[in-house]
Amino acid sequence: MKNTFGQNVSFTLFGESHGEEIGVVIDGLAPGIKVDTDHIRHELSRRRPSGRISTSRSEADEFRIVSGLFCGRTTGTPLCILIPNTNTKSCDYSKLAVTPRPGHADYSAECKYHGFQDYRGGGHFSGRLTAPLVAAGAIAKTALAEKGIYIGTHINVLAGKGDRCFDNENLKKDIDLLSRSSFPVLDEHCGEEMRAEAEKAALEGDSVGGILETVVIGTPAGVGEPWFDTVESVLSHALFSIPAVKGVEFGDGFALTDMRGSEANDAFTTDGRGVFTKTNHNGGINGGITNGMPILFRLAIKPTPSIFKEQDTVNLSEMKNTKLSIEGRHDPTIVHRAAPVVDAVTALVLCDLLAGRFGTDYLK
C-alpha cells in the first residue's frame, strides 16, 4: 500500500498540484455520520493561504462529495471528495524538470519515477494535496466530537517566537479557540510577533519554520498495540507524510531525555471512580496504548523549501552544476497552514484506531 493509510478506516490520496482534480477516498467510516459541508468549508478555509505570509495562489477549494454520502450522512461505503484545480500556472515551473529545487522532492522523485512524474508545482508531492485531507478530516472530527473526542493544534514556535502553553485545566476551551482561528495561536500577541518574523523573512526572499503542538482530549484508555502499531507509531507514520514534517515527539519528547525516571514517570491517582495521572510527561500513552489522559505531541516543520534566493543545483540533463532562482508563488512559511492538516490527519488516524478497537459502528 502506498498512498493509502489505515487499516479499518483508511484514506487514499490522489492528484497533482496542476492536475485536473485532487481528491481523497475515505473508507470504513461508520454509516450514519453527519456530514456538515459548512464545517468542511470552514476547515478548508483554515488551510487556505491568506495575508502576506502566504502564497498569492488562491484556490476556491470548491469540493464535491461524489460518493458515500446519502441524505446528509455517511453511507458506510467509500466517500470520495474531489477538489478541482482551477488556478494553475503551469509555465512557471517548466525549468524544474531538469534543475531540481533544493529541499524539494524534485531530485528524489526523478530517481523514483525516471522522468515520468508530473513535476509541475511539485506534482503529487505538493502541499496542495493536503486540501482533500483537511476535508476528509473535517468529517472525522465531527464523528469524534459526537463521542467527546476533540483535537486542537497551535503554533508552539514560529521562527523562534513562542506561543503560551496549553491550559491543562481548560483544554476544551483552548481547542475551541483554535478551531476558530486562521492563525492558530493561544495568545494573539504571540501570533503577531510570529507573523512579523515571517514577513521579515519573506521580504528577504527567505522562509521560516516552526513547531506545532497538538492535544487530543477524550480518547478512551486501552487503544493501541504494544508492538509496531503503538499509538505513537501509527500517528507518527501518518504525520511524517505531511510535507515538511521532520520531527515528531510525544509528551515531553526529547525533553524527557534530560529528566530522571522519578521526574518523567507520571504517577497514577484516583478519585475513587476514574484513574488519572498527576502529570502527563508521556503524552497520554504508556507502552504504546492510551491511558485516558490527553494525547500530546509536537511536530517539527522545516522552513518552506521554496525561496526566492538563488540556490545551487545541478542540471540533470547536462550533469553540470548550475544556479536556480525559483519564481512563481510561494509561502514564506506553511506552519500555520499545516495546523488544520495535522488536526485532520490525527482525526482520521483516531477513527481508524477506534474502529479497530471497538468495531465499525463505534463512531455511528
Set of cell numbers at residue 194: 510570529
- How many residues lie near a second copy (CB under 8 A)? 154
Degrees to nearest 5, angle at CA 259 with 233 and 231: 15
Q: Where are the beta strands (DSSP E) in 3-63?
A: 4-5, 10-14, 21-27
Binding residues for a second copy restricted to 156-175, rule: CB under 8 A: 157, 160
- Which residue, 85 or 179, is less far from a second copy as judged by CB? 85
Query: Looking at 51, 146, 189, 254, which residue binds a second copy (CB under 8 A)?
Result: 254
Q: What DSSP letter does each residue of 77-118 carry, written as one string?
A: S-EEEEEE--S--GGGGGGGGTSPPTTSSHHHHHHHHTT-S-
Cβ proximity of 281 and 264 under 8 Å = yes
CB of 179 to a second copy, least distance (A): 24
Kindly report the number of other CB atoms within 10 A of residue 282's CB atom: 21
- Which residue, 76 or 179, is less far from a second copy as judged by CB? 76
x-or-dash string of contact with a second copy, 272-311, rule CB under 8 A: xx-x-xx---xx-xxxxxxxx-------xxxxxxxx-x-x
Tell whether residue 181 is a contact of a second copy (CB under 8 A).
no
- Which residue, 38 or 272, is less far from a second copy as judged by CB? 272
- Which residue, 46 or 120, is less far from a second copy as judged by CB? 120
- Cell 515531553 locates to 252
Task: Identify the CA nearest to 43 among candidates 9, 79, 81, 13.
Answer: 81
Distance CA 198, CA 24 (A): 31
x-or-dash string of contact with a second copy, 49-88, rule CB under 8 A: ---------------xxxxx-x--xxxxxxxx-x------
CB of 354 to a second copy, least distance (A): 9
- Which residue, 179 or 345, is less far from a second copy as judged by CB? 345
Degrees to nearest 5, angle at CA 35 with 33 and 39: 130
Binding residues for a second copy restricted to 182-241, rule: CB under 8 A: 201, 206-211, 220-230, 232-234, 236-238, 240-241
Q: Give 34's DSSP letter.
A: B
Distance CA 354, CA 364 (A): 12
- Which residue, 150 or 250, is less far from a second copy as judged by CB? 250
Binding residues for a second copy restricted to 322-361, rule: CB under 8 A: 356-361
Set of cell numbers at residue 15: 492528484
x-or-dash string of contact with a second copy, 116-145, rule CB under 8 A: xxx----xxx---x----------------
